Structure formats: structure tokens, C-alpha cells
Structure 1
């Protein structure tokens, strides 16, 4: 049978490309471009001959983009020394730079190409407004319908129609797009907060690149955007600090809880008598006994188990702690030793003896490690109590998952008690019995009361827990053993034991191997600590005998002094050589030349954004600020007119301007003509974002997919941005607009507060998206109850109604005047020259005409060179005369081009017919113009 052949790389790449063309954002881009063409029509009807709104600022900005592309290819050093406004320096800084459109400016030459380029950028700027806002609102958590309504409302708000002649103001789509990319890179959304699995450094880098590109388009929008980015970074830093503080406090609380749990599970060091018997009716309840009972899964008769111990179960450290006891084996029935502290007078299950002994021994070793500094005697003083069953009662001791040993009536079940091995103990083998046959553990117990060399016993015991055969007539005896007691000895060594419990399916036999070993050392405390730390613990998850289970629990319970002892340790098989012996390291001489890899500690709390994103933000903010400073240098070098405060006060709109639409709005233009006439500068004060947007945002305050705290935050931000948009209307702007923007030079073009309406519209759009999505969600819920369960045509139409309303309010009546044809003389006459007639509006068209040769030109309109340009026009008003000629000669102008077809009705209407022989200049007639050559 042959497998299907996998597609190759070419086919997989083709499929991925095709899927990309039908992705949500790809479809959104198509729709945004088509909508931009429709909403800006007829911008692309005659894209090489018309400009939107007027021939003033669009002509100048078309020239500006052409100059940037031309000079970066030919002479990048002269970027800011534009050919217009001669001989002024840094003349490109007379308006927003638009350096970000440099690549577009490199395509084509001449006025026709400049006009086409401007119209294409004009349409794409509207499309980018939709794309950026859609991506931002979707990233924040809105659905498709809500994001579409927000994007269209933001891109085609009525107030923006008055700005159609300013490409730098229309080109604001990079602002929401950059914020969306940064939010995506940090894994943040309003609905879900920060999600570490959604982080992406690549998206964060892309966001910073888009933000830098947006800054290069101009400072009129770039400076407020920089403030917003700084505010977001501060909020991110505060959120990271709060997250770190909460993680630190949580870690402290967890450590405190761990200490409390460790205190509850730590055994109490009881003063165990060296002689005498512990009363069988009231056995001591210690941590070892509780852990043993917990590991065995049942409570022995006569022993009370607290709820806290019972809850530990086999998963606690007591269940998987140490199954080994050092230096002692369970005494067999009938065996006696004169030197032993305790003797067994009855036969006991060998498994129980071996398990309990192993557990107590490991517990004593761990206790010795913990208390070696302060209490060496207490480290070996904990005793495992004996749980005695009265005669005639059959004790049932469960081990592991419930396997039990049930002796016959009249048989005594002697509890397993382990004692810590004395110093210098010798190991000895023990006998083992198969399943179902009673066995006796043969071991040697060394006296713990001798101060000289003592022998340690090593017992290997295999107990059959399923057998109920015990020797009849055996006297019930309580085997009492003192674990790890050294009465007068100051030299004590705790042996390490390891028990391995292996269970075969279908049987209840368990084998416990206990090995006790000691090493004589000069310092008993040091030896006890080192031996205790080397204890290897093995625990099986399968059913085991009561001896193995009880020994495991008792050992871990007696030795659990801190919270680290309660951690579940992995099971190890001591029979494997690779576990007991670590592989020998290979010595490689290259390791001396390698840099050591630092071992980093795992943070106790999860950081909010991580180290990588923190570095990306630092680098992104640094580059953003560096680019801003680099572009700001020529703007700062310009002469400050000192009139920015007066201009800010003049352009500050009143509160009612938020309800007045511009003249370019097809819906509200004529309706608001009367209130618009009361505004000081209607073109910059008609700030209506749309009544449909107002209604949707108001509804979003009450019914929304956003959480209440987010709605309140958006409302607060909305109030702040409205106050800033009104400029000096509130408190003369002393505490609002002026501290943030009033100290910048006039060349930064921050004199018009109404342009901050961009942020007001964005916040309203986010609120509106929440309301629209909530409405759509309710409609889908209603549709789910229908048969068939999908929305009907009227319900679908109702969900799209908000989108239709915002599109309708964005319908414009923007004019698209035809650009005058370029005079032939401007293709041939070199500079420096002055073109007559000169005026504020016509000079911007002349700048556009020079995009063929970019010769030096004294003309220039708009921007912040208005004062010098007004002085120029006043001094050349009588040309040709001595005064004007001397002035032009002083500034370096060598030619004057008089356009015969454009001088009608101006002061230069007769300049072409006046004699110039006595003025020491030369005149030459060319088609459509007269050229004056100055000496």
C-alpha cells in the first residue's frame, strides 16, 4: 500500500499565496481601496490634470514630494535646500516635510507626473485610514462589523472633508496602524489584556517602523502622536511594575503557605524512653506514623489519623519519601539479642518490619541533616510508635492502592518499627520467602547505647502480603524500637537506605530491599548530614504490601523538616547501574575556549512583556526620537516669527464647532451654512465628526462589548482630547494646549488646535465599535432561535445600518480644479529667477511648474516664509524699475520671467511693453512670456 505523495514546496507556496489573497485583511484592503476611490471621486477621473479642493496647498505639496524624490537621487545633501523661496535656506522646512513619500517622488518627472502622484497618494491615504483603524479596533477585540463601522467613521468623518487640500493631515493612517501593530506585538487587547502566547517581536518592530514613517510625514500630527506613544510607554512601564509587585507578593504568600504546611507536616521530636515499653493502648501520634498511615491508605486500629495527614495520600512526599531505614532490620520471631534495645517475642510479617525500618531510618537521616547544627541528639531521637491490635482481632493493613495482609484469628500483627543504624554498622543478608509463604526477616540489631564501634545490619526482605497463614499460638507482642537514638554517644552516623517495591500483576507479593550502610567519620554531624542528603527514594504506583507502604510514609514523615522535603520525587530503580553510577564526563580541551553559559534562575513571576519586547521598545523609542530630532534641526534653524501664540488663539474653535459640519459635506454643508458663518476660520473650525458616530458612541457607553472600566477610560480620554482640541477656549489654554504645544517653534505647524480632532474621532470610533458589536451579538442570538437558525434579510440589513449611516455622512462635494498647463519657458529658462505675476496662491502653482528642471526660484507660497515673500512682492510690484532691479540683484536673482497669459489685472500688466534700455537690462520675447536678463 503506497502513501499519498506530499505536495512540493512550489505547490505549498502557491496554496499559501492564494490563501493570503482571500484572508480577512486582504479582503479588507481591497474594500478599503475601492471605497477610497468612490469616496474621493472624481480624484482619479482626470488624475493628471486636476487636484482636490484647490490649487494652493495641493500644488505646493505635489512640488514638495517631487523635490524630495529628485534631490535624494541626485544630491541628498541638499534635501532641505529646496529650489523655491530662493535665496532662503532650509526652505523645505516651510511646511510639513512629507519625507516619508520620498519613494513615490522618485517616479516620474514634470508637473503631470507630480499631479498624478499626488492624486494617487491622496486616494491611498484615505484607504490607509480605513486599514489602520480596522486593524486597531480588531486588535482591541471588536468583531468585523464593529471594526468596519469604526474604520469608515474615522476615515470619512465630516470634519476631515475640510482638510482634503492638506495631504499631510489626510496622511494619518499610520497612527492607528502603528498602535495596532504595537498592541499585536505585545499581545494586548482590551477584551483579553496581555496574553503571552500572542506576543511577537516582529510585529512590535513593524509597529515602531510605521510610527517612525508617520513622524517623517510632518510634525503637525507627529508631535501629538509622539505624546501618545510616550504615554503608552509610561502606562506599559507602570503595568509591568504592578505586575512585578503582584508577582513578588504572590511569591511571598506562597512561601509563607509552604512554611505553614511544612510546620504542620514536621514531626515533633518526642522524648523516647530508652528503657521500658510504650503503652499499647495510647501510642504516640507523630509525623512518621501519620505519613505511614497516609501512604498505606488505611488507619491502623488504635491510631487516630488527623484529616491533614489523611489528605496527603500516596502523592505526598511522605508516600514517596524514604523507604529505607539505616542500621536496623525487623527482629524475627523467636530471635533475641542481648545487646538490642528491643526484642520481638512474636513472629511478624517480614514486609512490615523491613518497610517500617527503612522509613524510620531515612526519616532520622533527613532529620539529622536539618538539625545537625543545633540539635544533634534530637536528630536521632524520633521514634516510630507501635500500633498494636488486640488479640482476636484481625488487623487489616492496606498498602499502596489497597493490597492488604489479613492474619487469621488469634494471630498478632506486630507493627513495623525501624531504628536508625548506629555507627560502624556491618551489612548482612536476609532470607526471602515467596508469595504465600510466611517469612522471617533475619537481621542483626546493634546496640545504640554503646559509645564504641557498633555494627549495622543490612536486611533484604521479601514479604508476602497476600498470605493469611501465620503460626498458631503465637503470642501477640508489641515490638517497640527506638529510631535513631544515641543515648550517650556523640559519634552517630545515619545510614542511607533505599527500598524498591516491585509488584507483579495479579499477585500481592512485594519485595522490599533495604540496605543500610554507614561510613565512620571524624565528625558525626557532618557524616549524618552527608549520608542523609544522599538518600535515594523509590516508590511504586502499583499495589504493595503494608510493610513497604508504611515504611515509605514513616520515613518521609519523620524526615520532612522543610517544604522541599514535601516535593514529589521521581521514581528511581536502584537495580539499574546507570542510576547508581553517573557516566564519566569526557574531557574536551575545547571547553577551555568556550564561554561559560550563565545559569539563569527562573523568575518567580511571569513578566508582563519579557526582555525581548522591552529591548525592542527601548530601541524603537530611541530611533523614533533620533529621527524626530534629526528632522527637527532645519525647522529649529528657521527664524521664529513669534506669532504662534496669537495664531493659536485665533484658530482655537468654540465648543459649538463640534456640531458644525464643513462646506464640503454633502449632507451637512448647506444645512450648517448659517452657524458656520459665525466661526472665525470655518475651514479649520468645522469639527463635526458625524452625528451617527455621536449616537453610536453614546450607545457604546451603556451597551458594549467593552468592559465597564475600559468604557470609563475611553470616556476620560475623550474628555481630555476634546479640551485639548478647543485650544485656548478653556482657561486660555494655560493648563491644556499651551503647555504641550505652545512652546514649539511656529515652523512645527502646531498653531491649529482643531487638528487634534483626529484623536477625538478615533476614541469615538472605538466606543461606537463596542456598541455595534453588541447589537450584532444580540441580533445573532435572536437569529439562533429562528427556524432555520440564521439571520433573515431584514436582520442582516439592520446590522449594516450603522455602516451605511457613517458612509452617508462622509459623502463629499470636494472641488477638483484643473491645473494650468506649464509654460514652455519654464522648461528652458535657467535660474535663479523670479516669475511674474507673484501672489500667495499662484506662487504654489509656479513651484509645481518647476518640477521639470527644478531651477532656483524666488517665488514660493504657503508655509512659514510668508513674511519674506510678502516683502519680496512689495518690492517688485513696480518692475521693471530701478528699485525692483536693485533689490533682485541684491538677493542674487538674474532673470525675471513675465508670463503674458497670466498678467491681466495685475500691476505687471504693462511690464512687457515698457522700455528697459536705461535700466541696464535686456529683454527677450519667447512664446507666451517675456524674459528679462539682469546684469
Structure 2
């Protein structure tokens, strides 16, 4: 027989320790296992319990799925990119306030270009769901063809244009997109800075500088100029897909062909928003591709057969993505080329370019919409011939941080030099005809050599690239400051005193972010005027029609009203005025008379709408109550509207 264990010996000899007073008596181990003191099995106990543990309860399928979903949702919601995206939207809503206060009745900046752009999004959404073949032949500017290409189209926002209909929906849609483009600009620059190797706070500074630079406040009425987030986001995705950063260089094990494809698709979407910003972006991408191909070929062609440092998947992803980008660019370019062929005067001449070229002091002058600097630079803006396009201050705090980033940075010295050169070159190009040699060695060289630049009116919008280079320099500086703050107190974080002492240096790294955001604040009260309401339901009118009075700005309001049914109409406002429209506007100043009515009949116009309150005091005042005998017109009045019908 085997020797009894220590526990069995103590149980039989009575050597167990007696319980202390007031404590419950410990259960007998034998009793706990279902055995009697003699070792016999109790009748009411499980006979297998003594030989095996109770089986573990296995959760059901529903519970397993819900647990995985909860865990995945928690990881997703707590991920850096999710928090960055949510924070970008919340910050944009705050920085653009009160845009979302009355989104159905007010619009940012003014009631001219924004109403045109609200129409653009609505038209794209409407025609792509009804008659896609007529996309470029819009209802405005009748009877001109390719009229949707008379200005930057914002075609990339067409999916939003498919939601809702009518002027109110168009205004709500515009206001939501207006807020989201600031969020995308912040998020795109944040992602780019992080991918290149910046810390979180440094990347946030880059995002804030790129999205809320003071010069962008002066462009608040130009949605196509503000829509730059796709530039930074596409560059971030392409860098991530190629495993490239400024701090670690090229890391082949981190390359991901899916991110490369995504980057090219975002770039294609960006160029679909308009060529004013898109053409320089396309040439920048082309330059990056060519330079990268040359450098990579020089360094790796000899070892390709051995190491394949690039990879076929990545190569095919670039070829496919690049072709998709080129295809979108070509499809967008075709209607614009047709417009230039039919209206050659729409091409921007060197005289027009000179008129809008900013001088060097413009890069240090704030637009009037700036809360911090607007009033301080009121007199300085008077020295500019066209202040809305020449007050291009990216931010004094940003200038300071970028300058510091040349000397103290998380980037390598040669990368700081490249970014600094980018700042200088982009400013020289943005100066247009005020650049070196009156622009002969700068923008004019691009204007004359590269297709597409002759369609850009304002060279100052290249400030997009100046701001991006400055933002990356600033991100490098702030990241270095934050890292040094952490290293300085790393050996003191084990004690409470050290933890409290280390909090303040970390908190101090947020100061640059706050300063950059303060520079981006706008004066809220005059920047969201009420949108004029349509005086008559446009869907009830028989087209083609014409609304009086008519001019470039007034017609932008009329275009918004036409989203109620999209009737064909003569009216339309854009970056240029077709000659036939200009001639008819002049003739209609004598309406109703025989010449103007004949001109309308030749164009098969059936309806003329005169807005009484706007016509009074204008060249079209005669149309309110002039005699119509013998002209084949029927005239009725509906409130503020005088309605003419051309009879057969």
C-alpha cells in the first residue's frame, strides 16, 4: 500500500489547525468532494465529479459574434485614425461656425459664387441620375454647348448632389460640404505628416495650418479653391503604400499596393473637383513619379534580379492607378478643350494673369475675414490692386514654426532643405508676373510651356503648396520639441512628483497648435448672409426662358433657383461670359421691343421673367410695364414677378 499523503495524515491524526474565534469553520475537503469520511460516495453527488473538473461553459454563436463585434468596434473607435477623423469634423464645425447654425437659409461668405457652386453640385447629381449623356450641356447658358465646363465643376461632389432636390436642398448640401472640406484638409495633412514621421501633436499642427491658414478665409466663397484635402490625403496614401517616410526612408517590408491604388483614386477624385487646383497637382505628381523613377532606377536596377526591392504588385498598382488618374484627367479635359475651341477668348491672357499676380508683400498681408489680423492690415490691403486674391498670409505663427523647423526638427537636414526650397519656389511661382524677371523665370515659363496653365487666372492659388511645405516644416519642429520634452522628464516619470512635473512640458507642446488655430479664426457675423429666395417656382415655367435683370452675379442666384426643375435658360454666370450671351443681355435692355422679341424667338425662348424689385433702377427697368401691343406677348403679374409668354 502507498503511504498516506500529508493532508490525509493530518486529517486522520487530528493535527489540523483549529479555527480562530469568530471565523466560520473550514469545510472538510472530503465532504467538499462528495465523499463521506470513510471515503464512500454520497448518493446525491455526481460520480464523475471526483475524477474530472466541471466542464467549462462554451458561449453560444450569438454571444461569440457579439463579443467579437464589441471588441472590434472598441478598437475601431479608439484607433488613432478614427479619433483624428472625428476630431477633424468636430473642429471644422467649430472653426466654420455659424455655417451649420442655419444651413437651409444662409451660405458662407457671400450670395454669388457660393450659389453658383451649389447649382454645380445639384446639376451633376441631377443629370447623372436622369440623363448622364448631357452632363456637360447644362441647363444654364442656353443654347451654348459644354456650358458645365465654363468654370471649375466640382464634379467630384456629384454623389452629394444626388441627395435631395430644389434650392433649399442645394443650400443645405453646400453648407455641409463646406464644413467637410475643412475637415478633410486637416485630416489629409495630419495623415501626411504622420506617415512622413511626425508626432501626433506635430501632425495636428500641420493639419491646422493646412486647413485654417488665414489666406483661405479670403477664399471662403470659392469652394473649388478650398477643396484641397484630397491633395494631402493622396500623397499620404501613396507614401504609405510605398513604405516611405522622411524619418526612415524607403522600407520595402512596409509597402502595400492597396494603399497605392487608393492614393491614385483619391488623386483622381481631387482633379475632378476642378483644374484651377488640379492642374498644378497633376504636374507635381508627374514630377514625383519621374524623379522617383530615375532615383530608384539608378539605385536598384543592378540588384533587381536578386532582391526585387520594388515588387511587381506595387509596379502594377502604380501603372493601374496612374492610368485611372490620367483617364479622369483626360475625360475632364475634353469638354474644356471644346470650350476653348468655341470661345477662344476664354483663355487667360498674360494681361489678365498680370492683373491678379500678387506682390511679395501680399504674403504678409491678412484678408479682412481674419479675426486676429484682419483689422490690423486694413491699410496694407489698400496697396494691393486686387486684395481678395493677393492677401495671402499663411500665418505669422506658421512662419515662425517653419523657420524654427529649419534648425530643430525631426526631419533630416537634407529634407528640411528640400522643404525650405519648396517654400521659396512655390512663393516665386505664386507671384506670377511679379516673380523673378517679371515672371519670365517663374510662372510665365510654366504658363507658356505646360498645357493647362493658360486656363488658370490666379497664380496666387499656388499658395496651397507654400502652405503645405510650411506646415510640414512646422510639424517637424513641433515633433522635435515634443520628443525633447518627453526625453527630458523620462527618468522622473516613476514618481508622482515626476509625473506632475512632466505634464507641463507635454502640455506646452499644445501651444503651437492653439496659436495656429487662433490665426485661422474668422469674423463670424458678416460671413453668412441669407440666401435670396426664388420669386417664382421655376419648375412651373416653360423653357427655354430668360430672367431679368441679368448680369454675371445676379445670374448665379438664378442658377440656384433653377435647381427647381432645371429648365433651360439663357442666364448663367461663370469665369467668362460667352459673346452671344453678352449680346443678348445688351439687347434685352430694350425689352419688350421688336428687336429683343425677335432675338428671343430665334432662340426659341418661350418665357421671360422680370423680377420687379431687382429691375427697378437697373438697365432692365423698362421691362416692368412697357407697351407690348403687336409684339406677340402675353403679360401677367404674380407678386414681385412680371411674367411674359411668347405666343406663336
Bin the TM-score by the shorter chain: 0.7 to 0.9
Q: Deviations over 1:874-928 (max 9, x none)?
A: 1111111122222222333221111223222213334222220122322222333
The answer to whether the 8 A contact 1:220-1:748 is kept is no
The answer to whether the 8 A contact 1:640-1:745 is kept is no
The answer to whether the 8 A contact 1:645-1:742 is kept is no
The answer to whether the 8 A contact 2:188-2:231 is kept is yes
Partners of 1:885 and 1:631 in 2: how far apart? 37
- Residues 1:608 and 2:314 aligned together: no
Q: Shift of the alpha carbon at 1:95?
A: 0.8
SS in 2 for 1:922: strand
Partners of 2:272 and 2:84 in 1: how far apart? 26
Match of 2:228 in 1: 172
Matching of residues 349-748 of structure 1 within 5 Å: 603-604=305-306, 606-638=307-339, 639-641=343-345, 642-729=347-434, 730-742=436-448
Match of 1:99 in 2: 155
The answer to whether the 8 A contact 1:153-1:806 is kept is yes
Partners of 1:158 and 1:923 in 2: how far apart? 51
Partners of 1:148 and 1:643 in 2: how far apart? 38
Partners of 1:928 and 1:654 in 2: how far apart? 46
- Residues 1:750 and 2:460 aligned together: no
Match of 1:242 in 2: 298
- Aligned alpha-carbon RMSD (Å): 1.9
Match of 2:594 in 1: 882
Q: Shift of the alpha carbon at 1:872?
A: 2.5
The answer to whether the 8 A contact 2:389-2:458 is kept is yes
Partners of 1:696 and 1:747 in 2: how far apart? 32
Q: Deviations over 1:392-429 (max 9, x none)?
A: xxxxxxxxxxxxxxxxxxxxxxxxxxxxxxxxxxxxxx
The answer to whether the 8 A contact 2:188-2:232 is kept is yes
Q: Shift of the alpha carbon at 1:825?
A: 4.2
Q: Shift of the alpha carbon at 1:716?
A: 1.7
- Residues 1:201 and 2:273 aligned together: no
Match of 1:780 in 2: 486
TM-score norm. by structure 1 comes to 0.60
The answer to whether the 8 A contact 1:87-1:892 is kept is no
Partners of 2:453 and 2:136 in 1: how far apart? 14
Match of 2:104 in 1: 48
Q: 1:866 to 1:755 in 2, by over 3 A?
A: farther
Partners of 2:429 and 2:190 in 1: how far apart? 25
Q: Deviations over 1:503-544 (max 9, x none)?
A: xxxxxxxxxxxxxxxxxxxxxxxxxxxxxxxxxxxxxxxxxx
Match of 2:16 in 1: none
Residue 620 of structure 2 is aligned with which of 908, 931, 935? 908
Match of 1:457 in 2: none
Partners of 2:155 and 2:194 in 1: how far apart? 30
Match of 1:767 in 2: 473
Partners of 1:824 and 1:897 in 2: how far apart? 9
The answer to whether the 8 A contact 2:486-2:506 is kept is no
**Structure with greater Cα Rg:** 1
Match of 1:800 in 2: 510
The answer to whether the 8 A contact 1:747-1:864 is kept is no
SS in 2 for 1:860: coil
SS in 1 for 2:333: helix
Partners of 1:825 and 1:896 in 2: how far apart? 14
Q: Deviations over 1:46-97 (max 9, x none)?
A: 0011111111110001011001000001100000000001111100001112
SS in 2 for 1:917: coil
Partners of 1:829 and 1:931 in 2: how far apart? 10
Residue 31 of structure 1 is aligned with which of 87, 98, 103? 87
- Residues 1:80 and 2:136 aligned together: yes
Partners of 1:916 and 1:745 in 2: how far apart? 51
SS in 2 for 1:168: helix
Matching of residues 762-911 of structure 1 within 5 Å: 762-786=468-492, 787=495, 788-790=497-499, 791-813=501-523, 815-865=527-577, 867-911=579-623
Matching of residues 116-131 of structure 1 within 5 Å: 116-131=172-187
SS in 2 for 1:671: helix
Q: 1:27 to 1:652 in 2, by over 3 A?
A: same
Match of 2:639 in 1: 927
TM-score norm. by structure 2 comes to 0.86
Partners of 1:194 and 1:841 in 2: how far apart? 51
Q: Shift of the alpha carbon at 1:640?
A: 1.8
Q: Deviations over 1:773-807 (max 9, x none)?
A: 11111211222244533344542332111011001
The answer to whether the 8 A contact 2:610-2:624 is kept is yes
Match of 2:32 in 1: none
Q: 1:737 to 1:900 in 2, by over 3 A?
A: same
Q: Deviations over 1:681-730 (max 9, x none)?
A: 10001110000000000000001111111111111222221111111212
Partners of 1:682 and 1:108 in 2: how far apart? 37
Partners of 1:17 and 1:825 in 2: how far apart? 47
The answer to whether the 8 A contact 1:834-1:858 is kept is yes
Partners of 1:19 and 1:159 in 2: how far apart? 38
Partners of 1:157 and 1:811 in 2: how far apart? 9
Q: 1:165 to 1:137 in 2, by over 3 A?
A: same
Partners of 1:932 and 1:650 in 2: how far apart? 41
Q: Shift of the alpha carbon at 1:817?
A: 0.7
- Could you say which structure has the higher helix fraction? 2
The answer to whether the 8 A contact 2:486-2:502 is kept is no
The answer to whether the 8 A contact 1:652-1:727 is kept is yes
Q: Shift of the alpha carbon at 1:3?
A: 6.5
Partners of 2:330 and 2:179 in 1: how far apart? 30
Q: 1:813 to 1:743 in 2, by over 3 A?
A: farther
Q: Shift of the alpha carbon at 1:746?
A: 8.1
The answer to whether the 8 A contact 1:839-1:861 is kept is yes
SS in 1 for 2:623: coil
The answer to whether the 8 A contact 2:591-2:622 is kept is no
Match of 1:352 in 2: none
Q: Shift of the alpha carbon at 1:866?
A: 5.4
Partners of 2:576 and 2:433 in 1: how far apart? 22
The answer to whether the 8 A contact 1:65-1:102 is kept is yes
Structure 2: tracts of 5 or more residues without a match: 1-52
Structure 1: tracts of 5 or more residues without a match: 249-602
The answer to whether the 8 A contact 1:243-1:607 is kept is no
